[in-house]
Amino acid sequence: EKGGFEHFMLKEIYEQPRSVRDCMRGRIYPIEGKVQLGGIKDYADKLKNVERIVVIACGTSWHAGLVGEYLIEEYARIPVEVEYASEFRYRNPIISEKDIVIAISQSGETADTMAAIELAKERGATIFGICNVVGSSIPRITDAGVYTHAGPEIGVASTKAFTAQVTVLTLMALYMAQQRGTVKQSDLVSMLTELDEIPTLIEQALKSDEKIAEIAEKFKDSSNCLFLGRGSGFPVALEGALKLKEISYIHAEGYPAAEMKHGPIALIDEDMPVVFIATKNSSYEKVISNIQEVKARKGKVIAIVTEGDKTVKEMVDYIIEIPACNEAYLPLLATIPLQLLSYHIAVLRGCNVDQPRNLAKSVTVE
Ligand code: F6R
């Protein structure tokens, strides 16, 4: 059942080239530069004119929502707010029939997310779901939706469900861009052509597994860890930190790299590992200066870099390479090494990676 892997989590990490591919199947047409999402096609007109989108979710699904915010705002130019379902439901949110709410949930059973959907529905919003478990509760109470098709996720720590959620949000952002004309047709062709290659690039990213296991040896006894990134690297940092804390019980924090100097920098010393998302994209130079700030204080730096990068390599203690890709798809690749890093650290610490203490696969109580 674990397909030769020692744990479900590792099996599910390795399934990602396939699960991301399955998620895109029949939905992208690179040659035509077209995205087709049958689940929400009845709302094409509403999407053309909508003035605001609100995303509600919990945990890892909320991190996927933050990636969605970057993508939808960048490509479809629609303002997006991302809220924890548990906060949204208790704070009399301003929401009306003009809004579209996107609820994200792997299990489709999370109590807080369901309650937030009910509240938004009462106020007349249109609700889309992004769920993995077919026929679960959330898809039954939403107006429309897009399944992630990642297949059953057994490991309590979400891995392939996260990348599938990000894939659906990418498809939604490009679909909205297509409806609204905010991305040129020729750019849609090239973006979809590159998206089609992402499963192959995920496969390449998985090849760093052995190297990551060696890096894990060096950090298995740490009691804290910081994860820093900018732009869509920030939600990736949050997700990396969540993975590490939930399965290895090491205290970890994700931060936007620029926020470091507003507090967390006080924590940096020779015992503090800092994981940077330092790939070659629009924030590369800025991230490099953040790395310098950490090195000046003797922090230990592990950097996720673009294949072939030499500048960052010379500055840091360890690098993990991922293939170059369009900045829009960075979260789909940069998340992979972070999943592997937390997996190996947790195994080395003797933790039960598939069933971490105090956690349940679906949180059906508030
Ligand atoms: C983290 C994790 C949780 C879930 C959260 C929401 O690895 O699994 O943070 O993401 O409980 O669950 P769903 O997506 O089922 O609503």
Is residue 280 flagged as an active site residue? no
- Dist. CA 47 → ligand 1 center (Å): 27
113 lines ligand 1 (CB under 6 A): yes
58 lines ligand 1 (CB under 6 A): yes
Which atom of ligand 1 is the closest one to the Cα of 361? 8
Pairing verdict, β 273-277 and 318-322? unpaired
Per-residue confidence (pLDDT) for residue 357, from 0 to 100: 87
Per-residue confidence (pLDDT) for residue 362, from 0 to 100: 85
Mean pLDDT by 10 residues, the chain (366 residues): 94 98 98 97 96 98 98 98 97 96 98 97 98 97 98 95 98 98 98 98 98 98 97 98 97 96 92 97 96 96 98 98 98 98 98 90 85
Pocket test for ligand 1, best of 12, 67, 107 (most atoms within 8 A of CB): 107
Per-residue confidence (pLDDT) for residue 1, from 0 to 100: 86
Contacts 24+ apart (CB under 8 A), 207-215: 208/320, 208/321, 208/322, 208/337, 208/340, 209/340, 211/320, 212/320, 212/337, 212/340, 212/341, 212/344, 213/340, 213/344, 215/302, 215/318, 215/320, 215/341
Per-residue confidence (pLDDT) for residue 8, from 0 to 100: 97
- ipTM, interface predicted TM-score of the complex: 0.98
86 lines ligand 1 (CB under 6 A): no
Per-residue confidence (pLDDT) for residue 366, from 0 to 100: 82
355 lines ligand 1 (CB under 6 A): no
Full-model pTM: 0.98
- Dist. CA 289 → ligand 1 center (Å): 33
59 lines ligand 1 (CB under 6 A): yes
Question: In 44-132, which ranges are continuous DSSP H helix?
Answer: 44-49, 59-71, 85-88, 111-122
